[in-house]
Amino acid sequence: VGWVKADTKAIQAIHEHVITHNPRVSVSHSDHSTWNLHIKGVQLEDAGLYMCQINTDPMKSQ
């Protein structure tokens, strides 16, 4: 599972590894089918659409 901020195409996280240098971002999952992106202390710069992607053929996103 990968998380991307859609407007900037900035990768936020891949699987359980946070890629962004923003310490307020984290990822959790309760099993391998439910994943969540968390942003603590949301700020105006965090506004936008975030997209999760999974590796499938063809690609699926939500």
Domains of the chain (ranges plus CATH)?
A: 2-61 (2.60.40.10)
pLDDT at position 62, please?
A: 67
Nearest-angstrom CA–CA distance, 38 and 21: 14
pLDDT tens for each residue of 3-62: 999 999 999 999 999 999 999 999 999 987 899 999 999 999 999 999 998 887 787 776
Q: Which amino acid is at 15?
A: H
**What pairs with residue 38 in β-bridges?**
26
Nearest-angstrom CA–CA distance, 10 and 1: 15
